[in-house]
């Protein structure tokens, strides 16, 4: 799939087929994260890939994250607290994964609805890392309508605000 089709056509997908994602496809997704730009090439990140049904269920207890349970896998993006840029770096890497997944027919949804303490305890994440965000992935079982997006005229300014 051409890259612009993946970016322009992507929607947040919250219903997934019960169809596993092949290892090669998962690996491409993770590679897209690994190769993302990162300030000073510091790579201040760790990614926990959750495939275990019990763990996915435990992560999906909130109002806006129920779909984690049905995801093929959910990636928990963690950034080093000591790094000034880790939140941005992890976010870029996660979005690279989203686009790489989309290009391979795999849908995804970012999940900001999580309790850091609960996720940390559940997954054994050490104290030097913060949980930046989660993203769930899986083959789409819905075709979400395009949400309203602001026009370029509203948000882009040339040379000055």
Ligand X SMILES: Cc1cc2nc3c(=O)[nH]c(=O)nc-3n(C[C@H](O)[C@H](O)[C@H](O)COP(=O)(O)O)c2cc1C
Kindly list the residues in this chain that would bind ligand X in the complex (CB under 6 A). 11-12, 14, 64-65, 109-113, 133, 144, 147
Strand order of the sheet with strand 45-50? 45-50, 73-80, 129-138, 107-111
Please, what is the minimum distance in Å from the beta carbon of residue 80 to ligand X? 19
Residue closer to ligand X (CB basis): 38 or 71: 71
Residue closer to ligand X (CB basis): 65 or 83: 65
Please, what is the minimum distance in Å from the beta carbon of residue 67 to ligand X? 7
Residue closer to ligand X (CB basis): 40 or 136: 136
Residue closer to ligand X (CB basis): 25 or 90: 90
**Rounded (10°) angle between helices 23-34 and 86-103:** 150
Please, what is the minimum distance in Å from the beta carbon of residue 117 to ligand X? 17
């Amino acid at each position: 799939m051409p890259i612009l089709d993946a970016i322009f056509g992507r929607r947040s997908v919250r219903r997934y087929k019960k169809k596993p994602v092949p290892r090669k496809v998962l690996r491409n997704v993770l590679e897209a994260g690994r190769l993302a730009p990162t300030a000073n090439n510091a790579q201040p990140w760790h990614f926990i890939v959750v495939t275990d049904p019990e763990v996915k269920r435990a992560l999906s207890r909130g109002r806006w994250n129920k779909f984690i349970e049905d995801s093929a896998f959910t990636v928990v993006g963690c950034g080093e607290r000591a790094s000034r840029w880790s939140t941005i770096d992890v976010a870029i890497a996660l979005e690279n994964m989203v686009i790489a997944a989309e290009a391979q027919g795999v849908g995804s949804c970012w999940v900001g609805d999580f309790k850091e303490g609960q996720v940390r305890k559940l997954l054994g994440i050490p104290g030097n890392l913060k949980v930046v965000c989660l993203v769930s992935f899986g083959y789409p079982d819905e075709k979400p309508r395009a949400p309203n997006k602001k026009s370029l005229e509203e948000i882009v300014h040339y040379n000055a605000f």
